[in-house]
Structure 1
Amino acid sequence: MGIVKDYKIGNTSIKIADDYCLSKTDEEVEEILHRIAVSAYRHFNAKAENYADETMINAG
């Protein structure tokens, strides 16, 4: 099917396509979403730890 949503946030263009998940089962889609969520959680957690470390260094 292709691009189902196209928008911008600041200078970033975001295009949402459904062709990757179009032929997937509901279970496969849930697994894909779970992997994305785990990856995002790890990224945000690492960023928060770095922010906390920088805050402690700058405060001391």
Structure 2
Amino acid sequence: MSDEPTPNPRYFTKEGQGVQVVYNLRDAAPYSALGYEEVDEAAYLATLPATDTLTLEGA
């Protein structure tokens, strides 16, 4: 078993931009100062398209 810590993702979004995932962040103040809002993982995943609606080019 590995002794490495588990990555701790935190999700930040800003209006008109995508989501940034930051791992092992201790202080979110710099992101807040830049206008980013932290969202939880469930909220982020809910914004992704369902896999059954994706199509492949040329399929």
* Alignment TM-score, normalising by the size of structure 1: 0.26
Larger RCO (CA under 8 A, 6+ residues apart): 2
* Alignment TM-score, normalising by the size of structure 2: 0.26
- Name whichever structure is richer in helix by fraction: 1
Larger Rg: 1
